[in-house]
Each structure stands twice: as C-alpha cells, then as structure tokens.
Chains A and B, each alone.
Chain A
Amino acid sequence: MPTSPRVMTDRALEVDASGKTDVGLLRSENQDCIFVDQAQGFYVVLDGMGGHQGGATASRVARDVMVETIAQGRETWPPGKLLVEACKAAGSAVHLQARADRELHGMGTTVVALAMPRVNQALIAHVGDSRAYLLRKGRLRRLTADHTIVAELVSAGKLTPEQAIDHPHASVLSRNLGGLQTTEVDLLEVELEEADRLLLCSDGLNGYATRNAIEQVLSGAATPEEATTDLIELAKRGGGGDNISAVVVEIGRASSELPETIEETGAGAWWSRRPLFMEVCRSMGLGTSPLASSLTEADALDLLGGSFCEAMYLDLEGTTGIHIWTYADSLVKAWFERDGRYGPVKELFDVLRAAALSVAKDVSRSDEDLGVCLEIALLRALIVGEMVVGGQISECIKVANETFASRRVTTDLPDATFANVATVPFSPTESPMPVGPEVNKCLADGAGAAKEQLGGDEYLMLHAIIDAAHSSASEFCGEADMSAAAIDLYGTRLLTEQEINPLLDGLETARVAHLAAVDALQVSPVARATALCALALAHQSLFHAFALVAVDAGKPTTDRLREMNASTSLMRARLERNEQHLAHFEVDIDTVEDLQS
C-alpha cells in the first residue's frame, strides 16, 4: 500500500504498535475486528453486532471499506475529514449490505479509529462504545465517551451520572455503523507527548477489567506487543465474557513512577538475592513439599522455589502478575486434579512468602524505601497466587456440588427400598413373634394392672380394648380376629354412645394405660421391650381394624344419601319442566282471553 503524506507520519518508525483480538472465553465466534498499519499510522478496532454471522460481517465490511477509503482519499481530504468520511462510508456500506441480505438485517458495528498524521498528533474517530484511552505518566485517561442512550441523556442533563449507573438501558447503543444510512461520527484530536501510550479497545476489555488494572498492565508492559497480550489475558481473568480486542500504540517509551522504580531496581535487587531466597526455601523444607513428592529434594526445590523466583523476577520487571499466575495455576491445578488438599498448598505458599519477605527485608537494609516497594510488589504477586488457589478450590466446590446433587437425585428414586415402606406399619407381622413365658406373664400382668387403673362409665369399653390388644399380643391373632374384636367394640359404642369419638378417645386412653402398666412392671428389660413392642403393634392393628369397620358401617348411609341426592335432582328437573309448561299454558290462556274479549 502506498504511503500517504497526509495520513502517515514521516516519523512513523518512531511509533511502535501492536494489535490483538481474541474470541474470549464464552463466545463461539469473534465478531471483533482490528486493523493495524503502522506505516500508514492508521489503527482501528471494530465490535460487530447483529446475531449469528451479522456481527462478524459488519465489522469486516466496515474495516475493508475504511481501509479502502483512507487509501483512496488521502490526496483529497484533510486527515480528520478523511477519517470521518471513512467511518461514514463504512456505515453506509454495512447498512446497504444489511438491507440486501435478509439474514444480515439489523447488523452493525462500533468503531474506534486512530490516525496519526504526525508523530505527536492523534486523530480519533469513534461511534458506539469501543473506547480510546491515553496513558500519560503512568495515569490512564479515557478519551472517548460511549455512544449509549444513557450517556447521551447524561450529556443532555436529563440524567445524573449516578442515575446512569443503575439505568436498565446503560449498555444500549445510541449510534452504530450500519444501523442507519448515515451516521454521526465523533472526532477528537490529541497532542501527544513522548512516552504516551494510546489504547483502542472493544468493550470486551473495559467491561471485564477495571480501569486501574488496565492502567497497571498498560503502564507495566515493556512493549505494545506485551501490553496487548497482557490486556487480553487480563480480560479473560475477569471472565472473558465477550470478544476482546486491544490495539496499543506507543510514542517512545512509556513509564510510571512506582513501576519504574521496581522495574529498574527492584527486579535486579530481587534476582541478585536469589541465593538467599533459595536458602530460606531450603531451610523451611520446600524440597519435601508433597506437591513435588515424585522429585528429589533438590529437583523439587528447583521446581517450586527456582520457578517461583524466576516468575517473580519477570513480573517485577513488567509489573504484572501474569508469570506468578501461570506458575501457581500449573502447580495448583495439577495438585487439586490429583485430589490434593489445601494444606500442603498453603504450606508451600507460606514458605514462598516467608522467603520472599526475607529478601525484601534484606533489601531494606541497604535501601529502606526500595525494600518497602519490593514488599508491596511481592505481596501483590502473592495475592495473585491466592486468587489462583481460591479459584481452584471454587472449581472443586462446584464439582462437589454437582456430584452431591446427582447422588441425591439417584438415591431419592422411588425404587429405593425404604420409599415404599410405611413409617408406622398398621398390619401385624404375618409370622408369629417368639414369645416366651416371661413375656406372656408380663403381658398378662400388664393387662390386669391397666384394667385396674381404668374405671369410670366407659370401663367396659376400655377393658374390651385391653383384652383385644392383650389377646392379639399374646396369641398373635390374625386379621379376621382383630376385625371381630373391632366389630365388638363398635357394638360397645352403640350401647354407650351414638357417636364414634368416645371410642376413638377410648382406644388412645387404653393404649397409653396399657403400655404404661407394662413399662412399670419389675421384669427383665428384654421381656419388657418385647412385650411393649408386641402391644404397640397390637393396638395399631386394633385401630386399623376399627377404622375399617367404621368405614364399612357408614357405607350404607353414604350410599343412601347419594341415592337421595340423585332422586332430588331428578325431581327438581321435573319440577322445572312443569313450571315451564305451566307458564306456556298461562300465556296461551291469556291469548285466548284477549281474543275472546
């Protein structure tokens, strides 16, 4: 592509740039699109939208049209105008294609584009919520305002910034390329300084990483290439729920205060004390850690301590936590996958922390402030390690939850043996229970004692209940016998009361007294327990049989009532029909009378 004297800077070689795009962790397709042309001084990030295929098509169509427009118009338009016209042409092309193809209907794309006519001049055009940031002296500043409905309401003074945060349409775009035939494009110009860094990104980055984290990574990376890699990694660590795109353009060398100090002196101080670090690790038994049990002590020390030391050095150099993250992730993941426990991991990181802090302490002896800054950096890296460990434990919790849930579902199935067994059996056991003489005596004495306690008007009924239960418990009579006893009891009810409730109360009173009397007997515990068990079953059987008798006794009445209801309904229907006939007759009579008169 030929160079343009208007768009391209004659000092383009002094600018370093890198761009990367990634599908992220949740999406199946990357609808983002980037373009990086360092020679032309032209950089673009586009974030397509519009369902399956539409989003990717929109961003790619827009990119191609923009590149072509820039190439063709460089001799005609001033740089700012050219950039805006390129965006508009792209929007128009996307719109036309969307109208021509039903499957692409509604597609569109955001855009943030950077042109650098001179090395110290940045022209930025944007539509939608893809953003441009400027890193200057270690501080990150956002250059673009999102084109969302809510943001525009805030600009118009119709919403406060606080109301905007919670607004349900906070992420709804008010503008995009392709939605309409023509699109309004915002253009801004920034005077650049030596060591500035510009970042263009899609919302897959700023939506999944804090501004501070972006600032830290962008200021800490050694090169734009490293910055884009680390930024995408950062967004993935934040969830990676969207496509992620980042373009970083550096003018000279970026720097920031604290990271620079650490980078230039802290990393060196750390690495120069590697022997001290390793010695502390060795003395604290790192070589015998269960996490490296298959290795010799020396190899384990080298793997666990040496690798940590190297990862820390690289992170101090770049003021990132990515190498420590990788170190911890590979180590801890493998450990937990082998069903390892947290204890040895905690011990490992305790040793590493103690050894690292001993290095910081040693640095403090010669340069206290550097020692403090180094400790801060070390602790932040160790926090990254904790995040890895915590993340892995979270995964284990998730798996344990799923396993537990699946097992509960399986054991709750109806074919489980206990599911079909009543909690309280109402039928006596079919096979006789072995009852010895002592138990028989116990049952007889208990029945006698209970009957002595029970007096009053209903004593006949209560005694009959105890006799029936005693008979059942001592002789293990069958179901037919219990039914006979229940019928007798029902007859007792008829002799005393015309209602069933007194008998139900009597069954309960007799049961309690009967069991209490047996429980109070001076017999062996085994005999007492056997007697109580037999009596409990007998009283339940009696109750069951009585309930059946009561239902049978009430059945004829119920049937008669049902028949009477049916007869009444029939009579009502006949009555209605007769009334209707009568009404007709009356009308007819009136008519005849009228005719006669």
Chain B
Amino acid sequence: MENSHAEIFSSLRIVMIDTLVESHHSIDDAFGTLPLGMIRGQFKTVVDQMHKYLQSPSPAHLYQSVSTWTATLLGVGLSPRSVLRTVVTMGDLVVQAAKRELPSGPATNLFLRELVRLNFNAAREVVAIFNDELEEQRAGVPSITPGEAKHAN
C-alpha cells in the first residue's frame, strides 16, 4: 500500500514543489530573503524526502530528514517556533495540493491520511528535537546564581 501512495506522490511531485515555491512567502518571511533557485532546491529536497518516507517509512530516516531540515531553517534565521510552524505549513500545503489535484473519493482520502500521518510524525520529531535542545541548555546553565558563585569562591 505504501508503494501505491509513493507512486501517487511521485506523480504530484512537480505540483507539490511548485505549490511550496509559490507559497514560500506565506510559509515564512525569511524565505523572501533567499534566492528563488535556492528555495526551489530546498523544497525539492523536502518533497523528495517525503517521497522516500512514503516508499519506506523509517523513523530513523524521518528523524534524520527532520533534524537536517530543522538545522537548515535555524541556520536561515528562523526561531524554533517558526521552524515548527514552517514544517507544519509545508506539510499542510502538500496535503492541500494533493487534495486539489486528485479526484475526491476513498482512494484519495487514504492517500491524504498517509500524508497527514507523515506531517504529524514530522511535527512530533521537531518538538522532540527542541526538547533535547532545551534539556541540554538546562544542563549547561549553572545551578547556582552568580551571587552564590562569588560566595562559594
């Protein structure tokens, strides 16, 4: 079943990339500062990673893809909150593009469900990555206040 979903996804690949590129201003303002060619390349990567996941759903692969994309977006200058919103919005745009392009019916609904499941898992991964970051930061912060530190010295 996954393979048929992957095939449908593959047939919509260009439409999905175009949809993301057309909507890049709406996804996040930060994309407005990047060259269009670079944006298309990034979205192409995202769509291809989604396709790969539909071909063979692997949590490890999803984590790797999401963490790479998260790092990229943080590098562009997005805040963690914006990164999560961007990931969710991109997933939603892909779902909407599929809904727009495919004939309504049970088969399409099953395909849409796979995409939404993927989006949920991606969002969950982003949240987990941020939580890891938070825990690391909490561990790195001194457990005593500066005043106490002087006193200790």
Contacts and interface: CB of A to CB of B under 8 A. Distances in A.
Interface string A318-362: 000000000000000000000000100010000000000000000
Interface of B is mostly: helix
Contact of A386 (B113, B123, B133, B138): B123
Interface in B108-153: 109-110, 112-113, 116-117, 119-120, 123-124, 126-128, 130-131, 133-134, 137-138, 140-142, 145-146, 149-150, 153
A75 interface: no
For chain B, give the interface size range.
35 or more
Contacts of B124: 386
Contacts of B91: 383
A383 B109 contact: no
B81 A390 contact: yes
Given A211-B26, A376-B109, A391 B142 contact: no
B93 interface: yes
A376 B113 contact: yes
Contacts of A257: 104
Contact of B137 (A383, A397, A411): A397
Contacts of A368: 106
B96 interface: yes
Contacts of B57: none
B88 A383 contact: yes
A121 interface: no
Interface string A202-227: 00000001111101000000000000
B25 A394 contact: no
Given A376-B116, A400-B138, A394 B106 contact: no
A165 interface: yes
A391 B35 CA distance: 28
A375 B114 CA distance: 10
A155 interface: no
B79 interface: yes
A597 B142 CA distance: 99
A397 to B, nearest CB: 5
A410 B106 CA distance: 62
B111 to A, nearest CB: 10
A389 B127 contact: yes
Interface string A378-411: 0110110011011101111110110110010011
A209 B86 CA distance: 12
Interface of A is mostly: helix
Nearest to B117: A379
Contacts of B61: none
B59 interface: no
B35 to A, nearest CB: 7
A382 B35 contact: no
A9 B19 CA distance: 39
Interface string B52-89: 00000000000000000000000000011100110011
Contacts of A403: 141
Interface residues of A, number: 45
B123 A383 contact: yes
B88 A166 contact: no
B127 A386 contact: yes
A28 B110 CA distance: 46
B141 to A, nearest CB: 5
Given A376-B112, A389-B127, A393-B80, A404 B23 contact: no
A210 B23 contact: yes
Given A380-B116, A394-B80, A397-B137, A166 B35 contact: yes
Contact of A383 (B23, B119, B128, B130): B119
Contact of B36 (A166, A372, A397): A166
A411 B35 CA distance: 42
A238 B130 CA distance: 20
Nearest to A417: B153
A360 to B, nearest CB: 9
B7 interface: no
Given A211-B23, A213-B92, A407-B142, A397 B133 contact: yes
B41 interface: no
A258 interface: yes
Given A383-B123, A393-B131, A394-B130, A210 B84 contact: no
Contacts of B120: 379, 382-383, 386
A373 B92 contact: no
Q: Which 4 A-B pairs have the closest CB atoms?
A: A394-B80, A410-B146, A210-B26, A390-B84
Interface of A: 162, 165-166, 170, 209-213, 215, 238, 257-258, 342, 346, 368-369, 372-373, 375-376, 379-380, 382-383, 386-387, 389-391, 393-398, 400-401, 403-404, 407, 410-411, 416-417
Given A165-B25, A393-B131, 12 more contacts: A210-B27, A258-B99, A369-B106, A375-B113, A379-B113, A379-B117, A379-B119, A387-B84, A390-B126, A394-B79, A411-B146, A416-B150
9 contacts: A165-B36, A210-B89, A375-B113, A386-B123, A400-B138, A403-B141, A404-B140, A411-B142, A416-B150
